[in-house]
């Protein structure tokens, strides 16, 4: 499919023979757009349904796992075809990297996979899902890296985010608590990251988080999984002082006229 797309682009200036190909291209584009919208809606529905349950045996969880395996397998196939298209064959050069770049971005790899991979980060603590999906995610990272390493635009984007100016932006963002929470936007404020490079980094983060979940093992209590967002938040990252945790406190409202009748809260220790 990638090779035929490249040939059509190269022969588009060949006179009247290009018109039927153009009509075919528009029809195929419209068909792909409709299919993409349908699959995107299904993907959103599966993610929403799976987020509402915890059990691996729930129908929504089974559907999520089946969809993920199907999507990953198709993405792996697309990336394999893209890599094959870039290799020289029959004594001639392979398809130009720019054409492959565009084709991959308009495939399921560049349309469905980015949002799905980002959404899966919300499921990272589910051991049953991490153990099943971590291996194919790692394979996708390797396959995508084989493609991006051959595309000059991606290599240039990778170089730009590692230059001295980008490193300084990271250091400046880390020095500010407010900016550190928006570190990604702060670092990328000078320009947008290449879509395939962004996807590769997203998949790498997803794979690393799933691997960490597998190393940590199953939570001892169900509440630990349900409250994982709070347990890993900065609020509780340093733990609780035993002296404070052993005391009980009550909260009572105390209204002061000097504060424009705003309610202030005073903690009163009980013995």
Is 100 part of any domain? Answer: yes
Mean pLDDT of 180-191: 44
- H or E segment and range at residue 199: helix 195-216
State the pLDDT confidence band at 6, using cuts at 50, 70 and 90.
very low
Taking only the tens place, the pLDDT of each residue in 91-126 is 667 788 899 999 999 899 999 999 999 999 989 888
Q: Exposed, middle or buried by CB within 10 Å (0-12, 13-18, 19+), for 129? A: buried
- Looking at residue 32, its pLDDT comes to 75
139 is in which domain, residue-wise?
Answer: 25-150+206-218
- Alpha carbons within 13 angstroms on the beta-carbon side of residue 89 total 9
| Residue 270 within any structural domain of the chain | no
The CA distance from 249 to 243, in Å, is 12
Residue 132 lies in a domain: yes
Q: Is residue 9 part of a domain?
A: no
pLDDT at 15 over 80: no
> Is 191 a member of any domain?
no
Task: Give bridge partners of residue 265 from the DSSP assignment.
Answer: 253
Query: Does the residue 44 lie in any domain?
Result: yes
How far is the C-alpha of 25 from the C-alpha of 32, rounded, in Å?
A: 10
Q: What is the pLDDT of residue 47?
A: 94
Please determine, for residue 214, whether its predicted confidence score (pLDDT) is greater than 50: yes
Q: Phi-psi bin for 174: left (phi > 0), alpha (psi -120 to 50), beta?
A: alpha
User: Is residue 234 in some structural domain?
Assistant: no
Q: Total domain count for the chain?
A: 1
What pTM value is reported for the model?
A: 0.65
- Percent of the chain having pLDDT more than 70? 63
| 134 has a pLDDT exceeding 70 | yes
* Average predicted confidence (pLDDT) for the chain: 75
Supply 255's token pair.
């209204």
């Amino acid at each position: 499919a990638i090779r035929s797309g490249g040939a059509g682009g190269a022969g588009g200036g060949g006179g009247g023979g290009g018109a039927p190909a153009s009509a075919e291209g528009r029809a195929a584009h419209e068909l792909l757009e409709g299919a993409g919208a349908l699959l995107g809606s299904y993907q959103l529905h599966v993610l929403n349904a799976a987020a509402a349950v915890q059990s691996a045996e729930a129908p929504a969880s089974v559907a999520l796992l089946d969809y993920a395996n199907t999507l990953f397998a198709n993405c792996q196939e697309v990336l394999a075809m893209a890599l094959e298209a870039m290799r020289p064959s029959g004594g001639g050069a392979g398809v130009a990297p720019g054409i492959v770049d565009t084709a991959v971005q308009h495939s399921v790899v560049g349309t469905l996979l980015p949002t799905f991979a980002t959404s899966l980060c919300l499921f990272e603590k589910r051991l049953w899902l991490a153990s099943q999906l971590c291996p194919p995610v790692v394979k996708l990272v390797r396959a995508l890296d084989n493609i991006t390493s051959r595309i000059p635009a991606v290599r240039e984007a990778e170089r730009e985010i590692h230059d001295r100016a980008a490193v300084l932006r990271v250091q400046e963002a880390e020095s500010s608590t407010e900016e550190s929470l928006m570190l990604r936007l702060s670092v990328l404020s000078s320009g947008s990251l290449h879509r395939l490079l962004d996807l590769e980094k997203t998949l790498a983060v997803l794979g690393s988080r799933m691997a960490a979940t597998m190393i940590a093992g199953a939570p001892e209590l169900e509440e630990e999984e349900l409250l994982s967002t709070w347990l890993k938040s900065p609020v509780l990252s340093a733990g609780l002082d035993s002296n404070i945790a052993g005391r009980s406190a009550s909260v009572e409202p105390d209204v002061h006229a000097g504060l424009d009748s705003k309610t202030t809260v005073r903690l009163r220790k009980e013995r």
